[in-house]
Amino acid sequence: MFSRALENMSPWTDAGMFENVSGCIFRDGGSDTTMYATVRSLLSRRLPEGESFAVKLINLPDSGDVINDPITMIDGSVALNISDGVTRTSIDDLHNMIVILQYRYTGMDDAAAKLIESVDQRIGDAHPEWEKVDKTNTFLNQFMKIRVLISKERNAAVLITERLSMSMWHLIQSIIPTYVPELFKDVPLDPKEKRMLKTMTARSSSNYTRELSELEEFYDIRGKKIAAMIGGFEKRERQNQIQRIDQEIANIRNQMADLMRSYRQKTEALDDANIRRNGMVYAIDNSDDDSGLIGFFQANKMLDVMEVNGSRITFVVRTAYENFDQDAYETYRENERFLDETAVRGVFERVEDRKRFMDAMFIDMKFKILLCAVYHLDIRGHFDTTSGYMYPPNCGDYIPNYHLDHHHCLGNYMRVVTDYLQRGDTIGAINACIASAKSININESGATFIPFMKQVFTTSKKCILLPNGEHVTPAKALELLKEEEGATAHEAD
């Protein structure tokens, strides 16, 4: 039962994702959003189409009166009213919902126990469909004062608890299937889901987040997120192209009125524009919106969509350093000044080691450096990058492309990408961005290449990609090179 609050549970808490299941936040020294992730990972795919599910946390009044009139108990005919501060819902109206009633009153001994006893005395006769599941209550009562009531017919549960701690909050989540068993009757827990629930009872939260990450891949959450974020983007792109073509048509007609002598030329241009417009309209009416762009992002694991805002899309490229001028490097490596300018302290302090490392990368190509870059594309023809961008956690082993990150300079790629955007070829523009992310100009030694290599020599990131796919630090890569050279020399002897 880990006690640390987990606040950022993306993509489980992202807007537009899992809208048929809502959770709640628990605050106890932090704002914990694990309930969103837990219930959404379990229930979203099990709910019948068109139905929704919610989990609510309601704090009972901090008052002794609630003992004599538990949970605003009116009489035997109205056994339980749940107030969320806005509306009141009778227990018999609950459906597809888990309600957690936290009684935080500490004004008397065993206040929570007395409340639970009072509920036990009244709930059975007035509402026979609500049952107390012995195994569930027995398990949880080892750790807290709690009473769990469930209604299988309504896929609903009510949990009456004492003041919860963060670890209690996580433990409650570990047996969610027992609260709504009918939802799991036809679709039992998958082994991955069982492992995820079991981690809620452990002391460390790392296993829980790891299992959730595996569930993301198992249920293709990344693909669903891309589809949710990019939905409608290609349609907006085509509509933007149609607006341009409409303006072109208007200009052509005005010119025809003023310049009759160029009538044939303008008529041909008009026909061509109408053909292109009709093609765009046909594409909108007869294709799945965004299927091409969504499929492109889903297929390219090196791309992460960060934001879509109107006509503008922001994405991050994670790749390896591939585009460089080998002749330029071989010229520089013979220059002692160049090697002196790359000097650093630490593992790469010896000039022979720096030269050995760079030769392995730029001449023998025994390994590559992992790079990342961010781009902002606008289907209206604009293109940009950002200096000092805050990259997402999955870029932890990647070094930002130095020329883009420090100089905010796109070089010749600015023209290439812009040309693609002007033609309405978003995928072509993205491929050009990927090419730019792979590139660092060795000829710009002072402005780019030298400070970039210093950054590599001093980093502790696992930014080196070995041929077997393993990621290691530059220091480890140097160690492997020396071991390889030593083995070769031994074989020669």
Would you kindly state where each structural domain of the chain is located, as residue ranges?
21-219, 230-290, 300-492
By percentage, how much of the chain surpasses pLDDT 90? 36
Bigger pLDDT: 13 vs 123: 13
Bigger pLDDT: 275 vs 198: 198
Residue 306 banded pLDDT, cuts 50, 70, 90: very high
Look at residue 348 in the predicted model and tell me its pLDDT. 94
Region 384-393 average pLDDT: 90
Q: Which residues contact 197 (CB under 8 A, 6 or more apart)?
A: 38, 173, 174, 175, 176, 177, 189
Sequential DSSP letters for 458-471: H--S--EE-TTS-E
Rg (CA), the chain: 31
% helix / strand / coil in the chain, to the nearest 5? 50, 15, 35
Look at residue 70 in the predicted model and tell me its pLDDT. 46
Sequential DSSP letters for 374-392: EEEEETTTEEE--TT----
Does pLDDT of 250 surpass 70?
yes
- How far apart CA 306 and CA 312 sit, in angstroms, is 11
- How far apart CA 316 and CA 376 sit, in angstroms, is 9
Query: How far is C-alpha 274 from the chain's CA centre?
Result: 42
Bigger pLDDT: 232 vs 172: 172
By percentage, how much of the chain surpasses pLDDT 70? 82
Bigger pLDDT: 446 vs 433: 433
Look at residue 176 in the predicted model and tell me its pLDDT. 95
Give the phi and the psi of residue 350 in degrees, each rounded to 5. Answer: -75, 130
Other beta carbons less than 10 A from residue 302's beta carbon: 13
Does pLDDT of 299 surpass 80?
yes
pTM of the model: 0.47
Region 248-259 average pLDDT: 83
How far is the CA of 339 from the CAs of 238, 331, 369, 453, in angstroms?
Answer: 52, 12, 19, 11
Q: Show the DSSP H helices in 44-86 as ranges.
A: 65-68
Region 404-428 average pLDDT: 85
What digits encode the pLDDT tens for the residues 59-68?
A: 776 554 444 5
Region 251-274 average pLDDT: 70
Residue 464 banded pLDDT, cuts 50, 70, 90: very high
Look at residue 157 in the predicted model and tell me its pLDDT. 93
Look at residue 343 in the predicted model and tell me its pLDDT. 92
